[in-house]
A and B are shown apart, each in its own frame.
Chain A
Amino acid sequence: MDKIINTADNYVNEMLDGLLAWDKRLARDDRAVFLRRSSRPNKVGIVSGGGSGHFPLFVGYTAPGLIDACAVGDVFAGPSVDSCMRAIKSADQGQGILLLYGNYGGDKMNFDLASEMLEMDGIRCKTLLGTDDIASAGPQEADKRRGVAGLVLLYKIAGALADEGADLDHVHAVTAAAADHCRTIGVALSSCTLPGRDAPSFDLAAGEIEMGMGIHGEPGIWRDKLKSADALADEMVDRLLADPVAQPTNRVALMLNTLGATPVEELLIMYRRISVLLEQRGITIAVPMIGPFTSSMDMGGVSLTLMYLDDAREAALRAPSDCRYWNLGS
């Protein structure tokens, strides 16, 4: 797929240049992007990071009420140790830092190294990994699951708690409970092409789809011919509801997300079915979100995220924020 770029090597830096030219609330220290003014003095810092190519995840959520700073990696590569350290330092107000990012090997190594180095400077960090992708490992190995779109909901919950003045342990505990009750599954319709590459990242024939494929093209559950929107909605809802959680409730936050190339109109066609299915199961969609929240470059496909809500989670999701990519339905 042709791309509007100058050079592949400058893809990320020039993207960040544009982001900062657009959003004057943001500042940048090399590959760390952070808020110039904190939404509250003396608050716990919320820091994330990850590879580029998933916009608005991760850096797009650097906004009041969500994350304070983000370490930005190359396309589909983790952020460097240096950028993790810069992001942590920029968000530090002496109240500790919640490191909230997806469960990927490189990201973990780099944030671990960075936080260990900064602990010597007196910066206390606690880590919480997004592990919402149910296709990436079974319930018995839930700690091996990847973090995908569900991270966005966790950003909002952690950000809201930090803005209320909660301490690091409380922010971590509530957000961790939310993570335990958050599940995502995706379906890919077409591959994506990385900047500078001649070929797509993986092969997916025309008319074929892969249920459960990850946001970097990691293998899913099955690959077969394209199904109807209703059939896909049925399977995705069934799989999410069948995945066990400790305390399921009858109110959920729902995020229906395009992976890049799939238009929002097709998401609406799916939502028409999903909303009926959940109603039939006695589940209320308290927080509906439809749109582009987590992409995989130009991949065709969608992901569906459900988070079971209690009062604290729902209040945090509804708390004030000011982010271009955080859009609640009515």
Chain B
Amino acid sequence: MSIDTQILRVALRRAALATRLAEDQLNKADARLGDGDTGETMRRLFGALNNEMPEYSDDIGGFFAELAKICARSTGSSLGTLVTVSMMVMAKQTKGQTVIEWTDLSPLLLLVRDQMMARGKANLGDKTVIDMLDGVATALVNCDNAADAAARSRQACTTTLDLFRDRENRIGRARMFAKKTIGQDDPGMLALSCLIDALSGDTNIQASSHA
């Protein structure tokens, strides 16, 4: 079974629930390094995407384009804008399609990663959400089914968080706390981890070891 807009609609609902449940924990993680609003940002953004979800259509590119517009008016945070960028890339890349094959997911996410790096002026290794996306996209290479994608991406989240935890943040507000960021999970990475937990079937975010 491929990815179609019906699957994406369910995914959005799960993402909205996951970000609502994870709000306090993400805020607390962010408060150690920044102004403590990552949870609120994600809850509001995915809440808006869920509440304003476009009418059903099988046009995946059009669906992502509508989501990009909702993002563009709903968020101004750096992390939120990176979500906007991701929706714009997906819209462009899937224009005219009614399905995304699982094997196409990795190359699509790598394109999203590259555009996020360009927009955010970030590099791999800076300890941002982009490193997490890179880990997941790389883990999904040649993945051809949903169950395998779920397992691989969740494992990639754990591996990437472990890999970066003891490194310094090198960009954004957290870079100013460089030494303080050692031993701390990046809030953007945690946010993506929460989303992947939800999308891959685990909505019990409160019990998640990641958050």
Binding site for B on A (CB under 8 A): 9, 30, 51, 71, 73-74, 76-83, 85, 105-107, 109-110, 112-113, 136, 194, 196-197, 199, 201, 216-219
Contact = CB atoms under 8 A, between A and B. Distances in A.
A219 B177 CA distance: 7
B119 A30 contact: no
Interface of B: 31, 34-37, 40-41, 44, 69, 72-78, 80-82, 84-85, 119-121, 171-173, 176-177
Contact of A194 (B35, B72, B73, B77): B35
8 A-B pairs with least C-beta separation: A82-B73, A78-B76, A106-B78, A73-B76, A81-B72, A80-B76, A77-B77, A82-B72
A217 B119 CA distance: 25
A109 B81 contact: yes
A194 B34 CA distance: 13
Nearest to A72: B76
A218 B44 CA distance: 24
A73 B75 CA distance: 8
28 contacts: A51-B76, A73-B76, A74-B37, A74-B44, A76-B35, A77-B41, A78-B77, A78-B81, A80-B72, A80-B74, A80-B80, A81-B84, A82-B69, A83-B76, A106-B76, A109-B81, A109-B85, A109-B120, A112-B119, A113-B84, A113-B85, A113-B119, A194-B36, A194-B37, A199-B31, A216-B34, A218-B176, A219-B176
Contacts of B82: 109
Contacts, number: 83
Contacts of A217: 35
Contact of A105 (B35, B69, B73, B78): B78
A85 B84 CA distance: 15
B123 to A, nearest CB: 14
Nearest to A144: B175
Contact of A77 (B37, B69, B119, B172): B37
B115 to A, nearest CB: 11
A78 B84 CA distance: 14
B136 to A, nearest CB: 22
Nearest to A196: B40
B78 A30 contact: no
Contacts of B36: 194, 197, 201
Contacts of B81: 78, 81, 106, 109-110, 113
A9 B171 CA distance: 28
B38 to A, nearest CB: 10
